[in-house]
Structure 1
Amino acid sequence: MLKETVSMFTRDGVRLDADVYRPNAEGTFPVLLMRQPYGRSIASTVVYAHPTWYAQQGYIVVIQDVRGRGTSQGEFTLFAHEIADGFDTVNWASQLPGSNGKVGMYGFSYQGMTQLYAAVEKPPALKTICPATIGYDLYHDWAYEGGAFCLQANLGWAIQIAAETARLNNDESAFQALYSASRNLPLFDSIPTYPEILKKYAPDSFYHQWLNHDRPDEYWVKLSPKTYLKNIDLPMLHVGGWFDTFLRGTVNLYKEMASRSSFLQYLLIGPWAHLPWGRKVGAIDYGLAASNPIDELQIRWFDRFLKDIDTGINNQPSVSLFEMGSNQWKNFDAWPNNPKTSYFLQSNGLASIREDAGKLTSSVGQASCLSSPIPDTFIHDPWRPVPALGGHAVFPAGAFERSAIDSRTDVLTYTTAPLTEDLLIVGDVFLEIYCSADQPTFDLCAVLSEVKNNGSVYNFTQGYIRVNPNQSTQPLTIQLQPTCMKITAGNQLRLSLSAACFPGYPVNPGTGSLPKETRLIEAEIITVSVQTGENFPSRIYL
């Protein structure tokens, strides 16, 4: 397999370097392009096959260091140059020796984002893209969830990017400090969300801007792909994971494109975290069927849209979702949008004390007779916030046995009776909750789990919201991650509620102060009350 390092120059004269892999064959070939910031030799092989494999399928593969990363020249500024540089790179790649002039792009996370930005100026050679695990709206889908800063994910990534900058600058002291911090995140500085190490070693980091813009303002509008893709139409292969922190972005982009595109939009979501994409996530082995199918699928996709080969992909259902529980792939013609089923919360006021005190009931008829004048009240203590365990907001992600967390008295649990038949959940999930607190602001974390007949409890989706003083409207709505789950007859469905999920999100101090200004010593004890019953029909929608 032939490989060479080739350079190009952007419209403003910056040199960008790439590795180019070629097939051992005569003729002209389409180009597969990946643009990434982590050193092009990695080539996203944490989730994809090596570029040599793609080249063997009859493609010229180009893996490029974006501006200011790897050996490419220029200054790296998060997402700032990817529209213009992406356009210039697609045009350059289409004219490489041996190219047939057609370009497709692939990659996940930042590499998925570079595809969206590259499409903005409509380079004629770009025929299709395969964005995986992306943020469509960078505020709602990436940096914040439900108004809460995604602390562990953002902080860990900011430190990684800063460490790479230090390495490229040969600043060993900064690199060593940042590398150490990446292995033990600095979550307990005097201002936990704004650690001193980033102030000292990465004063220009995007992290500072993301903290400064804690509302969806003009900063996010200018940065988000959503702003620029309204008139873009390409065949897209969308890839996500049920436990990926950016699943919202993947689904939202797919929905938008499927609603208006004249081309095929294909969505595949596996039981995966952000990385890797394999059969075991968290504590659950989802079986051989969950093994990564993306490389072979992408070749079928590229063969169809870059080589005009009928691979049959146009004739199959365009949504493929892995159903956890049955551990099988389920196919749909569109994003599932069946009528919602409501499970109403019922309690005698002791849902934080006994696991049999809080109940979920699905019958609307039953709901009319539920009356619980005693709310479920619990105390959020910032000295011992409810810890995150799996899910999508922390690492390691996935499903874990969480009965110990559900046994805490600062966690409310509501559980169905043992199911008399299998419960199949697919698509969007959200919670409407009548809830209040004794401080100006508080957080709510909602987790859905399967309770097995042996008493073990495994989470499968969750959501989070920061309730600010101006959010007095009741009920509050929490959007959980979409899911596809089968709960076997005899097992139970459980909703768990808490006021923290640390370090996935910062501990809410209760004062209303901004995360970048909240000192650890200022955090208040918060009393939270959840109301249920006939007059306050708190419910989960499946």
Structure 2
Amino acid sequence: MTHLAPVILQSHDLLPVRPPETVSMRTRDGVRLDADLYRPDAAGTWPVLLLRVACGRRTALTSHYAHPRWYAARGYVVVVQDARGCGTSDGRFRPFEAEREDGADAVAWAASLPGSSGVVAMYGCGYAGMAQWLALAERPSALRAVAPAFAGWDVFSDWAYEGGAFRLADAMGWALRAAAEAARRVEDGTGHRILSDAARSLPIDDEIPSRPQALRDYARYSHYDDWLTNPLPGPAWNALSPKSMLADMPADVAVLQLGGWYDPRLSGTLDAHDLIAADRLVARGRAPVRLVVGPWGADGPAAAPGEAPTLDTLQLAWFDRVLKGHGADRSGPVRLHDMETGRWHDLPALPAAEAVLHLASDGLANRQGGRLGLEMPDFEALDVVVHDPRTPVPTVGGHAVPSAAGRVDRAAVDRRPDVATYTSPPLEEPSTLAGRVALDLWVEADAPSFDVSAVLSVVRPDGQVLPLTQGHARVEPGDPTRPLTIAMRAVCATLAPGSALRLSLAGSCFPAYPVNPGTGAEPGETRRVDALPITLLIHSGPDRPSRLRLPA
């Protein structure tokens, strides 16, 4: 079709919006995909914003974004499309399997819709964010910008597993919701009710906590067993993941990534930015790239100091700039929200973990006697922590259980005898941490397999202990633990004088991750009765220097 020049809309003008239209397209293999079309009721052509969802197009992800009418009134054609096997679209939903080809087909089709200027951008969070990456891997010519939020980069390490441990609460909750939708599509009322009820209250007290009865009975509706029984990276995961498809990123597509400190997929978001930013430094005709990390979780905003812009205001300004040429670039390539002060920091890149705090102890870290310090201790120490599977250490705040994400006081958890804590002296001056964190831990256990949960918190003068970041590792028989390196995600926080840092170590973090039975058995094969107590031995000192690496 012949495209007219796009209309230039002033920021204070709002356009009338046509009533939504339901439109359909066919994929290259003949599957019908349905969409709702919103467009200005005015003469001219407009850039297209394409949102491809797996949760039903009528909701239009209004849990996180303004309704599509809001964007249409500001000079965009908005297309909200049900992914294959979702909503009213044909086909069977298999997570990520068809998004590369279907997404590219949808971009080409959206570029030809009434009112389109022929230029397309994509937006959306979670699954809809990954759908953007996968469509980009097919290099559709009309795609000019993407804005994936809370999406990650690798399905294996961002969606299914973390540090070798299955992401139990996150993966189970999503699988139950997706299975309930599959049951609804075939009018299985009983299955839909059972699965929906289980999604609202995760059945983690089942005989097999990682594979509850609801998912066993209705496995035909879900991908869950495929993920649970494939605990190692490899070709099956690579076939679903942008990480394996976008090593050579198109340089002419603008990229705005939105991440959250309490989003389970933040580490992948940062990995993607590092790769893309490095590529753009050497690419000619490169489009802009930006990373914004704010006080958000996978389910939306979390309680935090200061005010945070909405996802809509952030990406509208981005789309206006890269698609319409409106507005100036006033922020750095990386913008981070400070968890403690609420201020925003603009940086040229995400700093690496270069400062070091050493663990030290008199053997009573599980009685809050461990210490963090700049100096290497001059003596060897051993802390003993006993994990009892009957009373696992609970997940408190952080990122790993999306429905309960955020900054929750964990002082009571740190007082448990199965948690070892290492606390720094109170700070005399403000100190800002901004970037990635890692832990090198010399640890061993009396079981073939064990878990280590690590949480870094700020201890405020009033006694509150608020998590800043965390990491988790599942150690399988034969894995190296001399030392065990645990990636602890990234952080941005300015610590006030009188505050201290605390590292908390435990043998479980449930229900974020399955309780390790200590036997080496897979989670889907482990009954509650099979789990055994595990004794962890945590070393520190000159010969076995456990240490925390920080971006100071």
Say if 2:510 is the partner of 1:502.
yes
1:211-243 Cα deviation digits (max 9, x unpaired): 111011211111111111122322100000001
What is the aligned counterpart of 1:88 among 101, 105, 110? 105
Check 1:204–1:294 CA distance in 2 against 1; reply closer, same or farther (3 A cut): closer
Say if 2:332 is the partner of 1:320.
no
Taking the TM superposition and a 5 Å limit, the aligned residue runs for 1:163-182 are: 163-182=180-199
1:77 CA drift (Å): 1.4
Q: Distance in 2 between matches of 1:519 and 1:252?
A: 36
1:266-305 Cα deviation digits (max 9, x unpaired): 000001111213xxx2xx4423x22x33212212221222
Q: Distance in 2 between matches of 1:54 and 1:460?
A: 34
- Give 3-state SS (helix, strand or coil) of 1:237's partner: strand
Taking the TM superposition and a 5 Å limit, the aligned residue runs for 1:4-83 are: 4-83=21-100
Q: Distance in 1 between matches of 2:326 and 2:26?
A: 36
1:134 CA drift (Å): 1.1
- Give 3-state SS (helix, strand or coil) of 2:199's partner: helix
8 Å CA contact retained: 2:179, 2:221:
no
Q: Distance in 1 between matches of 2:149 and 2:234?
A: 26
1:306 CA drift (Å): 1.9
What is the aligned counterpart of 2:291 among 267, 277, 299? 267
1:295-351 Cα deviation digits (max 9, x unpaired): 1221222122222x14212x53111100111110110122224x6111111100011
User: What TM-score does the superposition give when structure 2 sets the normalisation length?
Assistant: 0.93
Aligned-CA RMSD value: 1.3
What is the aligned counterpart of 1:254 among 273, 278, 299? 273
What is the aligned counterpart of 1:389 among 379, 389, 396? 396
1:189 CA drift (Å): 2.3
8 Å CA contact retained: 1:105, 1:115:
yes
Q: Distance in 2 between matches of 1:321 and 1:361?
A: 26
Paired amino acid for 2:50 = L
1:204 CA drift (Å): 4.6
Q: Distance in 1 between matches of 2:159 and 2:176?
A: 16
Question: Counterpart in 2 of 1:477?
Answer: 485
1:473 CA drift (Å): 4.0
1:122-167 Cα deviation digits (max 9, x unpaired): 1111111111111311111221000000000000100000011111
Question: Counterpart in 2 of 1:343?
Answer: 357
Q: Distance in 2 between matches of 1:39 and 1:176?
A: 18
Q: Distance in 2 between matches of 1:303 and 1:319?
A: 19
Which one is further off, 204-213 or 33-42? 204-213
Q: Provide runs of 4+ in structure 1 moved above 6 Å.
A: none
1:467-517 Cα deviation digits (max 9, x unpaired): 111213401101012110111111111000000000000000000111121
Which one is further off, 434-443 or 227-236? 227-236
- Give 3-state SS (helix, strand or coil) of 1:459's partner: strand
- Give 3-state SS (helix, strand or coil) of 1:251's partner: helix
Which one is further off, 219-228 or 429-438? 219-228
Say if 2:519 is the partner of 1:511.
yes
What is the aligned counterpart of 2:327 among 311, 315, 340? 311
The alignment covers a number of residue pairs equal to: 525
Paired amino acid for 1:387 = P
8 Å CA contact retained: 1:122, 1:232:
no
Q: Distance in 2 between matches of 1:82 and 1:178?
A: 25
Question: Counterpart in 2 of 1:416?
Answer: 424
Q: Distance in 2 between matches of 1:381 and 1:296?
A: 47
Paired amino acid for 2:485 = T
Q: Distance in 2 between matches of 1:297 and 1:390?
A: 26
Paired amino acid for 2:457 = S
Check 1:511–1:171 CA distance in 2 against 1; reply closer, same or farther (3 A cut): same
What is the aligned counterpart of 2:126 among 109, 113, 117? 109
- Give 3-state SS (helix, strand or coil) of 2:463's partner: coil
Question: Counterpart in 2 of 1:358?
Answer: 370
8 Å CA contact retained: 1:142, 1:249:
no
Question: Counterpart in 1 of 2:283?
Answer: none
Question: Counterpart in 1 of 2:545?
Answer: 537
What is the aligned counterpart of 2:237 among 220, 238, 247? 220
1:202 CA drift (Å): 2.9
What is the aligned counterpart of 1:463 among 454, 461, 471? 471
Question: Counterpart in 2 of 1:145?
Answer: 162
Which one is further off, 1-10 or 238-247? 1-10
- Give 3-state SS (helix, strand or coil) of 1:508's partner: coil
What is the aligned counterpart of 1:158 among 151, 175, 196? 175
- Give 3-state SS (helix, strand or coil) of 1:496's partner: strand
Question: Counterpart in 1 of 2:4?
Answer: none
8 Å CA contact retained: 2:34, 2:88:
yes
1:73-96 Cα deviation digits (max 9, x unpaired): 111111111111111111110001
Q: Distance in 2 between matches of 1:460 and 1:399?
A: 8
Q: Distance in 2 between matches of 1:312 and 1:442?
A: 52
Q: Distance in 1 between matches of 2:242 and 2:269?
A: 12
Paired amino acid for 2:313 = E
1:524 CA drift (Å): 0.8
8 Å CA contact retained: 2:219, 2:225:
no
Paired amino acid for 1:397 = A
Q: Distance in 2 between matches of 1:130 and 1:458?
A: 30
8 Å CA contact retained: 1:143, 1:150:
yes
What is the aligned counterpart of 2:226 among 179, 185, 209? 209
8 Å CA contact retained: 1:348, 1:372:
no
What is the aligned counterpart of 2:387 among 380, 389, 401? 380
Q: Distance in 1 between matches of 2:258 and 2:23?
A: 29
8 Å CA contact retained: 1:445, 1:464:
yes
Say if 2:412 is the partner of 1:398.
no
- Give 3-state SS (helix, strand or coil) of 1:203's partner: helix
Question: Counterpart in 1 of 2:533?
Answer: 525
- Give 3-state SS (helix, strand or coil) of 2:243's partner: helix
Paired amino acid for 1:351 = A
Which one is further off, 165-174 or 342-351? 165-174
Question: Counterpart in 1 of 2:349?
Answer: 334
- Give 3-state SS (helix, strand or coil) of 1:177's partner: helix
Paired amino acid for 1:346 = A
Q: Distance in 2 between matches of 1:49 and 1:486?
A: 32
8 Å CA contact retained: 2:175, 2:222:
yes
1:99 CA drift (Å): 0.9
Question: Counterpart in 1 of 2:264?
Answer: 245
Which one is further off, 194-203 or 100-109? 194-203
Flag structure 1 segments of 5+ consecutive residues without an equivalent.
none
1:203 CA drift (Å): 2.5
1:11-35 Cα deviation digits (max 9, x unpaired): 1221111110011221011100000
Q: Distance in 2 between matches of 1:267 and 1:17?
A: 32
8 Å CA contact retained: 2:26, 2:32:
yes
Paired amino acid for 1:359 = R
Q: Distance in 1 between matches of 2:304 and 2:172?
A: 29
Which one is further off, 400-409 or 256-265? 256-265
Paired amino acid for 2:29 = D
Paired-residue identity, %: 46
Question: Counterpart in 1 of 2:457?
Answer: 449
Q: Distance in 1 between matches of 2:188 and 2:343?
A: 49
Paired amino acid for 1:231 = D
